[in-house]
Structure 1
Amino acid sequence: MLLTLPITALIYEALLPTEDIFHHLWVTVLPTYISNTFWLVLLVMSFSLLCGVPAAWLMAMCELPGKRWLQWALILPLAMPSYIVAFVYTDLLDFSGPVQDSLRQWFGWQSAADYYFPAIRTLGGAALILGLVLYPYVYLLARTAFMEQSTSLIQSSRLLGCTPWQSFKKVSLPLARPSIAVGLSLVAMETLAEFGTVNFFAVNTLTTAVYDTWLGYGSLNAAAKISAIMLLVVMLLLSMERMSRKRQQVFQKNMGHEQQTGYQLTGVAKWGALLFCWTLVALGFLLPFVILCYHAVHYFDQAWNSRFFEYSFNSLLLSALVAGVALMIGLLLGMTHRLSGKSYSVVPMRLASMGYALPGTVLAIGVLVPLTSLDFAINDAALWLGVTEPGLLFTGTMTAIAFGYLVRFGAMAIGSVESSLAKVSPSLDMVTQTMGYSPGAMMMKVHMPLIRKGMLAGALLVFIECMKELPAALLLRPFNFQTLATYVYQFVSDEQLELGALPAIVIVLVGLIPLIFLNRSLEQQH
């Protein structure tokens, strides 16, 4: 299928004879890049585990003041692009920032030699920033797992003399382990795909290696080989996640009629829990968002210009186009699978959804390989025919970036349509077929009205992810073409986020939409 072409092309290019550039990188810097990537993923996973699981247990099992608002607020950091958070904390914590400047004034220090302050632009700093943004993946899945557990098991453990901590360690945590493993695998894949923060902090990882190899050395072959290494890592992470679920099956669920009785925290425990949870919200979302609003107000006249409207239009047009095409592909594949009734008809849907697991830089190289070859072939054919060469029809236009977005995010629309169609009774198909409806008429008059909410949700998710995507946009965008994400990152790279605060707020507000839908769906289920 067309959507699997980038992966096939990437593997093919990676298997071609090695160029001198890749050999040079392999014997000089690639071992360091691989080591940095490993430690970054490990540190971010550890931080997300230490923050996400306790917060999930507190929200699912305990009664706290303002819990209804707090359990929603803990999801908010997902809407904040990590490179924006990185710049905010760099600006605050650098030597010239307000934090260190205030310390020098209070204690009379004159230079950095007079005191020690941890550097933010390090691998550990990057891990901390990414952990603040990505821990909600673990929090969401762990919270859902805790809420689905039967309260009879918790009450039985308490009757047997277990303290709340023992009950958590021996009952709740083992039952939630598969969900936590899924959340950690998502954190690991997002960390592996991260570009903005690590590039801003000058932490060299495999993601930055792909970017630098293509744009710096101009070697598509070397970039493809590094991308293939990342592809193997992603496949390994997916395999480990599936094995963790396969090896442990949990059948004890909350039956719905059980009353969820939470622990009543008091005193130090209550205020400590509130401080812990609200600190996560403040550091991961509130503080960066308030600073963005401050800059947006003070630099509004400079940010509210023609470029802001042009790049906003580019992002809206591109995102809407990709969302529409992804939805049509999802409907086509979903209806084909439903009407055929064959088990093998699900294969095209699974193949079309493979791109979502790929990091943006890896996907970009996979898109560039076939489209560059196609551009060269068309120009060679035009030269052979004696006509004017058309130039870069694919890699020099919006085609490449739109195709890359479609491959990466089409899985969201396909999955949403598939799950919605699965809820429609097969008897409706039989009735409409006996009435003489064609497959197209059946889809238009029966299925689409019934699955319109799922269609809208899938298209909306694709639209929002396209608005936020950065690494694929940096590699695939044509000349003189900017999206809001690349526009903001340009200011971040130049350490002028105050001028990009307004478009950054637009990206954040758009990113809040799926989180609102997600939280409402969780509240309706429980």
Structure 2
Amino acid sequence: MAAVGLLVLMPIATLIGIAAEGDAEIWPHLIRNVLPTSIVDTLALLGGIALVAGSMGITSAWLVTAHRFPGRGVLVWLLPLPLAVPTYITAYIYVEIFDSAGLVQMALRNFMGWQSRADYWFPEIRSLYGCILVMSAVLYPYVYIAARAMFLTQSASMLEVARVLGVSRLKLFRVIALPLARPALAVGLSLALLEALNDIGASEYLGVRTLTVSVYNTWLNRGSLPGAAQIACVMLALVVALILIERHGRRDRRYATSAKRSRVVHPAPLSGGRAIVATVLCAIPVFLGFVLPIGFLAREILRGSLFSQFDGEFLEHLLTTIGLSVAATLAVLALAALLVSAARMSKSSLTRSALFVAGLGYTVPGTVLALGLMTPLVKIDGLIGRLWNSFTGERLGLLLMGTAGGIIIAYVLRFLSIATGSLSAGLDRVSPSLEDAARTLGASRREMVWRIQIPLMRPALASAALLIFVDCLKELPATLLLRPLNTETLATQVYTYAARGRFEDGSLAALVIVLISLLPVIQLVRSAEARPKVADTSSAS
């Protein structure tokens, strides 16, 4: 348990050490020339995403939960699907569509007879506002899923009493439903903002100089590892601030409903203009975050006959991507099951602390994590090499740094908290009396884990596996910085095409990423949507 906690803290401690060992002249340069712009852009980006993605997620979640309108049954399934589309792919697509040389502006110039950009005004997609729109269109499902889950579990009787007292539906949402959903909204928003902070492909391509982009440029383009580490420490401070804000948003915000009155809210029908407005408001996020990217990728593949790219090299990149994702997912699940089971049985402060530390990995952006892992991985490789040489007299190459092993370690550290959180929540629903009965019958700890806890955690394990696999599949920053030479995943292949100004040639790789990610997301939606139906049936009977 302690080893897992030390493993998670290792890159953070290394990062701080590298920053402290840097030249004293670097910090003043960063304060004058780098940090002001990067901090302002990062805070503006996060604030804009919180506003836009939060509005999209909350509005659509409330509409499909509390009302019936045309298309609602389909939209309930479509609204979470942008989770399958990485932010960087969406950014590349939006530039191809809305930039000055893109499809929309070319069509406008041809239709109106304009000769150049000087003849008209069009919003600039390569801007802070464009980045906010692009990332919000992909990240709003984090808020939507959290908000819808909370709205579905709110007591119908509480809302019906408010309606009887003459409260309008708008006021009911604003005064009752929204405050009760505040803890879930804080979690959903924090996840969306952490994902935005982790992004490097979208913000770099759209010209927004965030702290993540500054870390990448300072490290690789300017060759200053200490300078990059110092910027990364500022990012960590921002991450800590986000966590504190999220905890503040959830403080003392608990409520309980009677188990005997588990009846959920029944959607009220809308008609006329209100129904049309509700349909449009829910359809806009789906169009921006899913339909438009998928449609563009399909168009480019058919238009450019890109199916010919599906050759041996492409298959190798695909297998590398799936192999890394599967290996990391299995490692995360095994480690998380060990941590959660140990914490469940021991109840000691050490195991609880290790479980808490294991959850910190997701808060560390991939760029920062990769930077912090470099030195430890090199030292571990050196130690293993010396031991091998002393026993065999032969030299041993790198096992972790610059290999698939280093990428898998980064994935495990980053996504371990997803599994520990899901498994902990799953076990918390199990009555301790069941485990007490097993102990009374003489079951050992190993038997407790394999015959009781693991079977009971299977639904949580399945959900965590789907989420982790999708996140590993889409992860770009850590993969980009830790990948072996001449090794490509689908994500790095798309990034390489975009960096060369030929994103359309990477449309096949981008679409494959989305399609593979789509299957786990659909399964998660199916599991989430099945729960309310069970509650309704039981209450009706």
Q: Give the TM-score category using the shorter length.
A: over 0.9
Given residue 128 of structure 2, which amino acid in structure 1 is its aligned partner? Answer: L
Q: Is the 8 A contact 2:65 2:265 kept in 1?
A: no
Tell me whether 1:402 sits opposite 2:432 in the alignment. no
- The residue that corresponds to 2:529 in the other structure is 523
Given residue 217 of structure 1, which amino acid in structure 2 is its aligned partner? Answer: R
User: How many Å separate the matches in 1 of 2:244 and 2:471?
Assistant: 25
* Change beyond 3 A, Cα 1:383–1:335: closer
1:370 CA drift (Å): 1.6
Alignment of 1:484-499 (within 5 A): 484-499=490-505
Given residue 421 of structure 2, which amino acid in structure 1 is its aligned partner? Answer: G
Alignment of 1:322-401 (within 5 A): 322-375=328-381, 390=396, 392-401=398-407
Q: 1:452 aligns with which of 444, 449, 458?
A: 458
Residues 381-390 or 78-87, more deviating: 381-390
Give structure 1 stretches of 5+ with no counterpart: none
- The residue that corresponds to 1:250 in the other structure is 255
Q: 1:308 aligns with which of 314, 317, 323?
A: 314
Q: Is the 8 A contact 2:466 2:521 kept in 1?
A: no
DSSP 3-state at the match of 1:95:
coil
Q: Is the 8 A contact 2:403 2:482 kept in 1?
A: no
Q: Is the 8 A contact 2:146 2:188 kept in 1?
A: yes
Q: 1:114 aligns with which of 109, 112, 119?
A: 119
1:441 CA drift (Å): 3.9
User: How many Å separate the matches in 2 of 1:29 and 1:48?
Assistant: 28
1:387 CA drift (Å): 6.9
Q: 2:191 aligns with which of 174, 186, 189?
A: 186
1:109 CA drift (Å): 1.3
Q: Is the 8 A contact 2:137 2:288 kept in 1?
A: yes
Given residue 465 of structure 1, which amino acid in structure 2 is its aligned partner? Answer: D
Residues 123-132 or 276-285, more deviating: 276-285
TM-score (norm 2): 0.90
Deviations 1:75-94 (A, max 9, x none): 11111111111121211112
- The residue that corresponds to 1:174 in the other structure is 179
* Change beyond 3 A, Cα 1:176–1:333: closer
Q: Is the 8 A contact 1:151 1:254 kept in 2?
A: no
User: How many Å separate the matches in 2 of 1:24 and 1:253?
Assistant: 59
- The residue that corresponds to 2:138 in the other structure is 133
Q: 1:477 aligns with which of 477, 483, 488?
A: 483
* Change beyond 3 A, Cα 1:341–1:259: closer
The runs of at least 4 consecutive aligned structure 1 residues that moved more than 6 Å come to 377-388
Q: Is the 8 A contact 2:155 2:262 kept in 1?
A: no
Q: Is the 8 A contact 2:494 2:506 kept in 1?
A: yes
- The residue that corresponds to 2:62 in the other structure is 57
- The residue that corresponds to 2:3 in the other structure is none
Identity of aligned residues (%): 39
Given residue 299 of structure 2, which amino acid in structure 1 is its aligned partner? Answer: Y
User: How many Å separate the matches in 2 of 1:386 and 1:66?
Assistant: 69
DSSP 3-state at the match of 2:251:
helix
Q: Is the 8 A contact 1:148 1:254 kept in 2?
A: no
1:254 CA drift (Å): 8.9
User: How many Å separate the matches in 2 of 1:253 and 1:299?
Assistant: 59
Residues 207-216 or 428-437, more deviating: 428-437
Tell me whether 1:295 sits opposite 2:323 in the alignment. no
1:288 CA drift (Å): 0.8
1:289 CA drift (Å): 0.5
Given residue 234 of structure 2, which amino acid in structure 1 is its aligned partner? Answer: I
- The residue that corresponds to 1:39 in the other structure is 44
1:200 CA drift (Å): 1.0
Deviations 1:174-203 (A, max 9, x none): 222332222222222121111110111121
Q: Is the 8 A contact 2:72 2:279 kept in 1?
A: no
DSSP 3-state at the match of 2:181:
helix
Q: Is the 8 A contact 2:152 2:264 kept in 1?
A: no
1:467 CA drift (Å): 1.2
* Change beyond 3 A, Cα 1:18–1:250: farther
Deviations 1:279-306 (A, max 9, x none): 2211110111022122233433432122
Alignment of 1:87-102 (within 5 A): 87-102=92-107
- The residue that corresponds to 1:30 in the other structure is 35
User: How many Å separate the matches in 1 of 2:334 and 2:389?
Assistant: 37
User: How many Å separate the matches in 1 of 2:443 and 2:160?
Assistant: 55
Q: Is the 8 A contact 2:70 2:276 kept in 1?
A: no
DSSP 3-state at the match of 1:161:
coil
* Change beyond 3 A, Cα 1:182–1:437: closer
Tell me whether 1:228 sits opposite 2:241 in the alignment. no
1:434 CA drift (Å): 5.2
Q: Is the 8 A contact 1:10 1:228 kept in 2?
A: yes
Given residue 529 of structure 2, which amino acid in structure 1 is its aligned partner? Answer: E
Give structure 2 stretches of 5+ with no counterpart: 1-5, 533-541
TM-score (norm 1): 0.92
1:405 CA drift (Å): 0.8
Residues 223-232 or 492-501, more deviating: 492-501
Deviations 1:258-317 (A, max 9, x none): 463433211111111111211221111011102212223343343212221111111122
User: How many Å separate the matches in 1 of 2:115 and 2:258?
Assistant: 61
Q: 1:514 aligns with which of 503, 515, 520?
A: 520
1:378 CA drift (Å): 6.8
How many residues of Structure 1 are paired with residues of Structure 2 in the alignment? 526
* Change beyond 3 A, Cα 1:53–1:208: same
Deviations 1:135-180 (A, max 9, x none): 1122222222222223333333333333222222222222223322
1:127 CA drift (Å): 0.8
Aligned-residue RMSD, C-alpha: 2.7
1:395 CA drift (Å): 1.5
Tell me whether 1:204 sits opposite 2:212 in the alignment. no
1:381 CA drift (Å): 9.2
Deviations 1:464-519 (A, max 9, x none): 22111101101111111111111122122223233222222221122223322332
Q: Is the 8 A contact 2:22 2:227 kept in 1?
A: no
Q: 1:284 aligns with which of 283, 289, 304?
A: 289
1:122 CA drift (Å): 0.8
